[in-house]
C-alpha cells in the first residue's frame, strides 16, 4: 500500500474500511491483553508501594487507549454504513504475522513489557515522519527481533480512506440512511460522530488519526505519545535493577480450543479449568460483538429501544464481565506445557450464529444465548477460582437475568 495511491471506487473504499475495522479491533484486543496482565496487588510481588502507583497509572492509560480504539471501530462502522456497507466485526485469530497487514507489524496477545510496548508504538507511529533518533534507539533496544522497520502505519490506511471520501461524488457515495447512524443518544460512546456527508466523514477520520498519532502540536497526548512515555518510564524503572516486575507472567497468544480448528499459531491453554474460563470469555466476547454490530447495522427507526438495550448491555459486559474474566485468567496457571506461566483470554472468534435482521428474533437469540452462558458461569462459580473470575461470572448472571 502506498500513500500516493488514491481510492476512487466504493468497492475499494469499503474494502479498506473493513481492513480498518479489523485492525482497530485486533489492536484493541492486543492493548487489552497487555492491560489485563498488569499486576494489581503488591501481594503479587515484584513491585513496591510506589511502583504500584505507577503500574496503576499505566493500566489506566492502556485501558483508555483501548477504549478509544473501540471508539475508532465504532466510527469506522458509521463510515461504513454511511456509504451502504455492513459493519465488519470479523478478524483472524491471534497471532497475525507481520505480513498479514501492510503495516508490517505482527498483531499478538502478549503481556505488558518492552516488547509489546514497542509493537504498540509501531501501530500508532505517525505517517510521513521518520522516527527521531532517540525513538529509534528505544525501539531497537535488546530483545527486539526487527532490524529495519518500514513504517507503514494505520495513519497511512486512513489517508487512503480519506482520499476515497474526497474522490467519490458526495451524492453518489452517501447512500446509507441517516437513521442508520449510531449516535450518542443510542450508545454511550463519548465522541461518536454520526456520518451523513463528506464533512462528517472527514471529521470522523480526523478524530481517529488525531487520537492515534496526534498532530504535530500535541503528539505527546496521542496514543503514540502515551506509549513512548510508558516505554521510557518502564525502561528507566527496570534499569535501576530494583527487581521491579510490573506484569504477570502470562503466556503469549493463548487459545481456549485449538482442537476445534481454531487455526493460527496460537498456544492452547493446557490447564482445563483455565481453558473453561477462557472459553466462557470467548463466548461472551463473541455475543457482545454480534449485538454491537447488529445495533450499528440496522436502521434505528422503530427499534430504537432495542438498539439502546443492546448497546447498554454490551457496554455493561465489557467492564463487568470481560475485564474481570480477562484479568482473572492471568492469575490462573496456563498448564503443564507452560511452566511458570499464567493463562489469558484468547479473544477467539470461532464459527457462530449470525444475528437475524428481525429485531424480535435477534433479541430472542441473544436472550437464549445469554441464559446458556449464565448457566456456564453458575457452574464455574461452584469451583475454586480467582476472585476476579468469580466476580465476572456473578455479573454475567445478573446481566442475563435482566436481559
Partner 1 sequence: MARDFDVVVIGAGMAGAMTAYRLAQAGARVLILEAGNRNPSRAQMVGSFATASAKTLHSPYVQAESDTKAPSPDSSSTYYEQPAAPHTQYKSTYERRTGGSTWHWLGHTPRMLRSDFKMSSRYGGGPDFPPALVDWPVTYDDVEPWYCEAEREMGVAGSHDEWNGLFDSPRSKPFPMSMIWPSYSDTWIAGQINGKSFEGSEYRVRSTPSARNSELYDGRPPCAGNSICVPLCPIGAKYDGAVHVAKATAAGASLWEQCVVTKLDKDADGSVHTVHFLTYGGASQTVTAEVVVIAAHAIETPKLLLMSGLANMSDQVGRNLMDHLAKSTFGIAPEQLFPFRGPPSTSGIESFRDGDFRRARAGFRVSLNNDGWSRRGAPYTEIIDFVTNKKLIGADLQEALFARVTKQLRLSCSVEVAPDPNNRVELSAMTDALGLPRPKITFTPPQYSLNGLAQATKTLGDMFRLIGATEVDLGAANAYDGAGHIMGTCRMGSDPKSSVVDAQCRTHDHPNLFIVGSSVFPTVGSPNPTLTIAALALRAAQDIADQLGFKTEPQI
CB of 305 to partner 1, least distance (A): 13
b/e sequence 322-342, b meaning 16+ C-beta within 10 Å: bbbbbbbbbbbbbbeebeebb
Give the number of other CB atoms < 10 A from CB of residue 188: 12
Residue 188 is a binding residue for partner 1 (CB under 8 A): yes
CB of 49 to partner 1, least distance (A): 6
Which of 134, 191, 265, 379 touches partner 1 by CB under 8 A? 191
- With respect to partner 1, which residue has the nearer C-beta, 299 or 398? 398
Task: List, in order, residues 6 or more apart from 375 with CB less than 8 Å away.
Answer: none
Region binding partner 1 by CB under 8 A among candidate stretches 88-96, 215-223, 279-287, 356-364? 215-223
Spatial distance between the Cα atoms of 2 and 309, rounded to a whole number of angstroms: 42
Nearest residue to 346 via CA among 393, 284, 392, 282: 282
- Name beta bridge partners: 267: 254
Residue 371 is a binding residue for partner 1 (CB under 8 A): no
- With respect to partner 1, which residue has the nearer C-beta, 185 or 368? 185
Residue 56 is a binding residue for partner 1 (CB under 8 A): yes
Region binding partner 1 by CB under 8 A among candidate stretches 198-206, 223-231, 340-348, 369-377? 223-231
Which of 45, 190, 216, 261 touches partner 1 by CB under 8 A? 190
- With respect to partner 1, which residue has the nearer C-beta, 225 or 249? 225
Residue 211 is a binding residue for partner 1 (CB under 8 A): yes
Residue 11 is a binding residue for partner 1 (CB under 8 A): no
Residue 100, burial from CB neighbour count under 10 angstroms (0-12, 13-18, 19+): middle
Q: Please tell me the chain's helix, strand, coil percentages from 3-state DSSP, rounded to the nearest 5.
A: 60, 5, 40
C-alpha cell at 184: 450518542
Residue 61 is a binding residue for partner 1 (CB under 8 A): yes
CB of 394 to partner 1, least distance (A): 10
Backbone conformation region of residue 253, classed left if phi is above 0, alpha if psi is from -120 to 50, else beta: left
Which of 134, 170, 185, 220 touches partner 1 by CB under 8 A? 220
CB of 142 to partner 1, least distance (A): 28
HEC profile for 235-287? HHHHHCCCCCCCECCECCCEECCHHHCCCCCCEECCCHHHHHHHHHHHHHHHH
Residue 308 is a binding residue for partner 1 (CB under 8 A): no
CB of 56 to partner 1, least distance (A): 7
> Dihedral through CA 159, CA 165, CA 168, CA 173, nearest 10?
150
- Name beta bridge partners: 250: 342
332 within 8 A of 277, measured Cβ to Cβ: yes
- With respect to partner 1, which residue has the nearer C-beta, 59 or 293? 59
Which of 225, 232, 264, 270 touches partner 1 by CB under 8 A? 225
Which of 1, 5, 11, 60 touches partner 1 by CB under 8 A? 60
Residue 6, burial from CB neighbour count under 10 angstroms (0-12, 13-18, 19+): middle
CB of 51 to partner 1, least distance (A): 8
Region binding partner 1 by CB under 8 A among candidate stretches 48-56, 165-173, 321-329, 349-357? 48-56
268 within 8 A of 259, measured Cβ to Cβ: yes
Site for partner 1, residues 255 to 284, rule: CB under 8 A: none
Residue 304 is a binding residue for partner 1 (CB under 8 A): no
Distances (CA, A) of 28 to 25, 62, 168, 284, 368: 5, 10, 30, 17, 28
- With respect to partner 1, which residue has the nearer C-beta, 57 or 371? 57
- With respect to partner 1, which residue has the nearer C-beta, 62 or 291? 62
CB of 63 to partner 1, least distance (A): 7
Q: Which residues bind partner 1 (CB under 8 A)?
A: 49-50, 53-54, 56-57, 59-61, 63-64, 68, 188, 190-191, 211, 220-223, 225-226, 229
Amino acid at each position: 500500500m502506498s500513500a500516493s495511491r488514491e481510492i476512487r471506487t466504493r468497492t475499494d473504499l469499503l474494502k479498506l474500511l473493513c481492513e480498518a475495522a479489523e485492525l482497530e479491533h485486533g489492536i484493541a484486543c492486543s492493548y487489552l491483553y497487555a492491560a489485563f496482565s498488569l499486576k494489581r496487588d503488591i501481594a503479587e510481588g515484584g513491585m513496591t508501594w510506589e511502583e504500584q502507583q505507577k503500574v496503576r497509572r499505566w493500566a489506566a492509560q492502556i485501558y483508555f487507549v483501548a477504549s478509544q480504539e473501540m471508539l475508532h471501530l465504532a466510527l469506522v462502522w458509521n463510515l461504513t454504513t454511511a456509504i451502504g456497507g455492513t459493519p465488519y466485526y470479523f478478524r483472524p485469530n491471534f497471532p497475525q504475522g507481520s505480513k498479514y497487514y501492510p503495516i508490517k507489524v505482527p498483531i499478538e496477545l502478549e503481556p505488558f513489557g518492552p516488547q509489546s510496548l514497542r509493537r504498540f508504538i509501531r501501530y500508532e507511529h505517525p505517517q510521513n515522519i521518520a522516527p527521531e533518533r532517540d525513538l529509534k534507539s528505544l525501539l531497537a533496544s535488546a530483545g527486539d527481533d526487527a532490524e529495519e522497520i518500514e513504517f507503514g502505519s494505520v495513519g497511512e490506511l486512513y489517508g487512503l480512506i480519506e482520499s476515497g471520501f474526497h474522490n467519490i461524488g458526495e451524492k453518489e457515495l452517501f447512500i446509507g440512511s441517516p437513521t442508520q447512524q449510531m449516535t450518542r443518544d443510542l450508545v454511550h460512546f463519548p465522541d461518536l460522530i454520526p456520518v451523513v456527508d463528506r464533512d462528517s466523514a472527514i471529521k470522523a477520520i480526523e478524530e481517529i488519526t488525531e487520537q492515534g498519532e496526534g498532530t504535530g502540536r500535541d503528539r505527546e497526548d496521542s496514543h503514540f505519545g502515551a506509549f513512548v512515555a510508558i516505554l521510557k518510564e518502564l525502561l528507566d524503572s527496570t534499569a535501576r535493577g530494583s527487581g521491579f516486575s510490573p506484569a504477570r507472567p502470562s503466556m503469549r497468544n493463548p487459545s481456549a480450543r485449538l482442537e476445534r480448528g481454531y487455526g493460527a499459531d496460537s498456544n492452547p491453554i493446557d490447564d482445563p479449568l483455565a481453558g473453561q474460563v477462557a472459553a466462557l470469555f470467548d463466548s461472551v466476547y463473541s455475543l457482545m460483538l454480534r449485538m454491537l454490530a447488529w445495533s450499528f447495522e440496522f436502521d434505528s427507526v422503530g427499534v430504537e429501544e432495542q438498539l439502546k438495550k443492546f448497546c447498554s448491555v454490551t457496554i455493561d459486559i465489557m467492564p463487568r464481565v470481560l475485564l474481570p474474566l480477562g484479568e482473572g485468567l492471568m492469575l490462573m496457571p496456563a498448564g503443564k506445557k507452560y511452566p511458570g506461566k499464567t493463562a489469558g483470554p484468547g479473544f477467539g472468534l470461532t464459527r457462530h450464529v449470525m444475528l437475524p435482521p428481525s429485531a424480535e428474533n435477534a433479541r430472542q437469540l441473544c436472550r437464549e444465548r445469554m441464559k446458556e452462558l449464565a448457566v456456564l458461569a453458575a457452574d464455574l462459580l461452584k469451583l475454586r477460582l480467582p476472585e476476579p473470575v468469580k466476580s465476572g461470572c456473578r455479573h454475567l448472571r445478573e446481566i442475563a437475568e435482566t436481559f
